[in-house]
Structure 1
Amino acid sequence: MAPGSAPVPPIGEADLHVHSTVSDGTVAPGALLREAAAAGLSAIALTDHDSTAGWAEASAAVAGTGVALIPGMELSTREGFTSVHLLAYLFDPFDDALLAETARIRESRLTRAEEIVRRISADYALTWDDVLAQAADGATIGRPHIADALVARGHVPDRSSAFDGILHPGSVYAQPHYAPDPLTAVRLVRAAGGVPVLAHPGTRGAERVLPEARLARLVDAGLFGIEIDHPENRADAKPRLRQLAARFGLVVTGSSDYHGAGKQNRLGEHRTSADVVARIVAEATGSRPVLPA
């Protein structure tokens, strides 16, 4: 909570990981609030990849839905050759250092996407215009838009098939993009008054969970929680993640990672308790939730 500001009223349980058309979701930011109301949610966090461009539209939709908005972002980071995502909540969207870093990430995402399309086009009928046609104006272009273009061209039946084959990280078309290391990202989010939570760290199973020593460094830098109740965290990883959360005093969050039609994940299928939502809000000093009137 910003210094000197009034306490935020209780919000209720929330889905703290939701994407819109600003990144790789298929639902506009304002429409997400209406879908959240239909799902019986008290709140959602809008966490588009490396962008806050959807905050204004989502904020404007709050009053008509009765659903609170927790402004956020999913920040891309990299630990060696491994992609690590960090959820950031209620930071200052005008923080210079964080703005500069996310702009660098988005620019790298764009050039990476262009190179991937160039490589794919040598073997498949696919153009950059095909990819642009799958993205909303101003969206951060990424691999999901390439996947949608491959579907539209009839090369694959759906996004999942694209990511299992042509867009697999091990394919000949793969190309990395710039991302800061997780420690730098946690520090940036904290410096901007935000609350950092490690996103879906169990998707590769128990043996690929971030080592305890590395997690300890993130906690020392200000990591506040771990997203454990997530549809893509593997069942064998969750007990280990809960042990680590207890060991380091981290909050446990739950969320859907909803992308609209872009994934099978259902909005609100996993949720974060009202108590944890309140702790995240109280921890933040960069911005505040947008509450229904």
Structure 2
Amino acid sequence: MREQAGAGAVLGRPHIADALVTRGVVDSREEAFATLLSSRGPYYVPHHAPDAVQAVRLVVEAGGVPVMAHPLARQRGRVVDDEVIEAMADAGLAGLEVDHRDNDESARSHLRALAARLDLLVTGSSDYHGAGKPNRLGEHTTDPESLERIERLATGTVAVR
């Protein structure tokens, strides 16, 4: 897997998928994620994840700016109900990723309205993890005003320029 990731990189599921392709176990990254690396796959091991509201509180306490990634990305499996997003907003959630390839126009419209109602930032993301996925670096971006607001809200670090 180190060959796929490169020196010093943190290994993740995309690297495991690439290694499975290289070894001929699967034909593509998509197949790896749909079968062996799926939460419904034969090798899935459940792990503990903090409650979403508690996770938001922890990020805020650390001086971070919590933004929820792909809340309505149905292609990935579970989606998050508006009530959960509202509870996260009450705990300090600062934004929602709206502009993402997994969100169709209906989902984007819904998320923009929800973000406006909850006074949340709207962000974009290419969700780029290398050339093995269809996502292209910079295909969806966050507008400069939202980025500036994120930087103003952050108290844990100094922005690197």
> What amino acid sits opposite 2:95 in the alignment?
G
2:124 to 254, 274, 277: 254
Question: RMSD in angstroms over aligned alpha carbons?
Answer: 2.0
Secondary structure, aligned partner of 2:39: coil
8 Å contact 1:281–1:289 — kept in the other structure? yes
Alignment of 1:233 with 2:103, yes or no, is yes
Give the structure with higher Rg (CA).
1
1:164 to 34, 43, 55: 34
| TM-score (norm: length of structure 1) | 0.50
Match of 1:289 in 2: 159
Alignment of 1:183 with 2:33, yes or no, is no
Q: How does 1:105-254 map to 2 (within 5 A)?
A: 131-204=1-74, 209-254=79-124
- Residue 138 of structure 1 and its aligned partner are, at CA, apart by 4.9
- More strand by proportion, 1 or 2? 1
8 Å contact 2:101–2:135 — kept in the other structure? yes
Task: Give the whole-Å Cα distance in 2 for the aligned partners of 1:152 and 1:198.
Answer: 33
Secondary structure, aligned partner of 2:145: helix
* Structure 2: gaps of 5 or more residues: none
- Residue 134 of structure 1 and its aligned partner are, at CA, apart by 3.5
Task: Give the whole-Å Cα distance in 1 for the aligned partners of 2:82 and 2:114.
Answer: 8
| TM-score (norm: length of structure 2) | 0.87
Aligned length: 159
Task: Give the whole-Å Cα distance in 2 for the aligned partners of 1:234 and 1:172.
Answer: 30
> What amino acid sits opposite 1:200 in the alignment?
H
Task: Give the whole-Å Cα distance in 2 for the aligned partners of 1:190 and 1:238.
Answer: 25
8 Å contact 2:14–2:129 — kept in the other structure? no
8 Å contact 1:226–1:253 — kept in the other structure? yes
Task: Give the whole-Å Cα distance in 2 for the aligned partners of 1:134 and 1:155.
Answer: 15
Q: How does 1:3-152 map to 2 (within 5 A)?
A: 131-152=1-22
Higher relative contact order (CA 8 A, sep 6+): 1
